[in-house]
Structure 1
């Protein structure tokens, strides 16, 4: 009997502990994390692109989190935990901002990093919540409220003088690498390679094609490393082009069953992470 009572008491205590446990901080899977399915995929894609553009332009990071509830914590306690875990904003510049919406609680908060507290101060954050976001929330337009709030936050950050983003160069390199695999450039390599190979022979024609492509890549991309990569790829591609054409005789290299396709994801999952920014509790909260 005593054993049964002890088991029941243990179960009750475990249930009470679970009920009072803090809401877990979700992983940072993108600039917009919606755990309530409030936003459509197109809404998330649009917000993500705006926030990407901001980071490329100013270096500052802004993220949006929508959760059902923050209970038993207040939204202030929860949002600072999220900010400390995600570390939005650049290290030592601390130019991050976080918009947290607790949908079932009818609460929201703008958490502001140290480096933005001069421009996105408590009064400004409160006005954005009261004048821009919550009026739309009261009408059930959550996507519109979040979008308008993000736009206003971006506008404030754009007006703040911040150190230039260091990621601009690396972003350019990433874009340059993508340009190497542009379908038009690949088609041009095929044509040039075929002409030089027919005129000069397989080996010399391949070398000449690699040289031409390397010079062109250097002129367009301004990177010695990328031009060398392009040159080597063009050389080997031209060397084996005849074999590829033969093995794809029925479908053709361009028109084969699989074909070449590319696209742009509407999410930055896996490619976005906080920059090490710090938060001190600045910002504002609101309700609707």
Structure 2
């Protein structure tokens, strides 16, 4: 009887975990791009699908992009891991699946890597892709471009062709901010001097518009040819927690 306490607690904890996971909704695997959040335009989604289909056709690695409206109250790392296992991404015996998960509501992104690809798409490379390629575009509002470059970087990494970009440190960010403030002060000084010395200064200035580009990640133009509707299923890939995540 004395040893039954810890066992009972362990069983209860397991049952609670299973019950909590049972309430999590996993969308059906409807294609290489599952955009449940309606974040991408139709042509962007089709072109991205075409790229991933060609990639899988070339080397059998199974890459899926999932854009979901919510994570049901759990971390993106746990959700990505469970979703990849639920969809059984990757082919049997190869464990060569990759899930690129984007959660716009939580402002999170995760790359979940199958066991068979962890030696090429390492945690360090996945983190570098997220931090230096994906998040800068997401922060500027260019979600299509960020997803685009993320997919292309994942493909390059699995082919040993990805070139690691240097990560910006806190010291680098502080220096960038200080230089930016200094430049603003200099411009204000020059601008103020110019106005004071000008005999005529009226409302003849127009402010230009600028913003992030959308959907211009290098897929080409036009719609891809119709294939099989991109209906496919996962295989039997294994996921042991490889990959990385980040937020913007």
Bin for the TM-score computed over the shorter chain: 0.5 to 0.7
Change (3 A) 1:78 1:22: farther
Q: Which residues of 2 match residues 50-89 of structure 1 at below 5 A?
A: 50-89=51-90
TM-score, normalising length from structure 2? 0.64
Deviations 1:243-282 (CA, angstroms, capped at 9, x unpaired) = xxxxxxxxxxxxxxxxxxxx94377342x11121111111
Residue in structure 1 matched with residue 216 of structure 2 by the alignment: none
Q: Secondary structure at the match of 1:57?
A: helix
Structure 1 residues 84-93 or 24-33, which shifts more? Answer: 84-93
Structure 1 residues 120-129 or 274-283, which shifts more? Answer: 274-283
Residue in structure 1 matched with residue 129 of structure 2 by the alignment: 128
Q: Number of residues paired by the alignment?
A: 168
Alpha-carbon distance in structure 1 between the residues aligned to 2:154 and 2:95: 15
Alpha-carbon distance in structure 2 between the residues aligned to 1:26 and 1:83: 11
Which has a greater percent of helix?
1
Residue in structure 1 matched with residue 242 of structure 2 by the alignment: 282
Alpha-carbon distance in structure 2 between the residues aligned to 1:131 and 1:26: 29
Q: Secondary structure at the match of 1:277?
A: coil
Alpha-carbon distance in structure 1 between the residues aligned to 2:86 and 2:36: 17
Displacement of 1:68: 1.5
Task: Find out whether 1:99 has 2:100 as its counterpart.
Answer: yes
Task: Find out whether 1:148 has 2:155 as its counterpart.
Answer: no
Residue in structure 2 matched with residue 240 of structure 1 by the alignment: none
TM-score, normalising length from structure 1? 0.55
Q: Secondary structure at the match of 2:234?
A: coil
Structure 1: runs of 5 or more not aligned: 1-18, 161-262
Alpha-carbon distance in structure 2 between the residues aligned to 1:101 and 1:30: 16
Alpha-carbon distance in structure 2 between the residues aligned to 1:156 and 1:279: 18
Equivalent of residue 268 in structure 1, options 196, 213, 229: 229
Structure 2: runs of 5 or more not aligned: 1-19, 162-223
Q: Secondary structure at the match of 2:50?
A: helix
* Contact 1:48/1:266 (<8 A) preserved: no
Residue in structure 1 matched with residue 213 of structure 2 by the alignment: none
Residue in structure 2 matched with residue 255 of structure 1 by the alignment: none
Displacement of 1:128: 0.3
Q: Which has the larger radius of gyration?
A: 1
Moved runs in structure 1, 4+ residues, more than 6 A? none
Alpha-carbon distance in structure 1 between the residues aligned to 2:82 and 2:124: 22
Residue in structure 1 matched with residue 118 of structure 2 by the alignment: 117
Residue in structure 2 matched with residue 34 of structure 1 by the alignment: 35
Alpha-carbon distance in structure 1 between the residues aligned to 2:83 and 2:22: 15
Q: Secondary structure at the match of 1:268?
A: coil
Q: Secondary structure at the match of 2:241?
A: strand
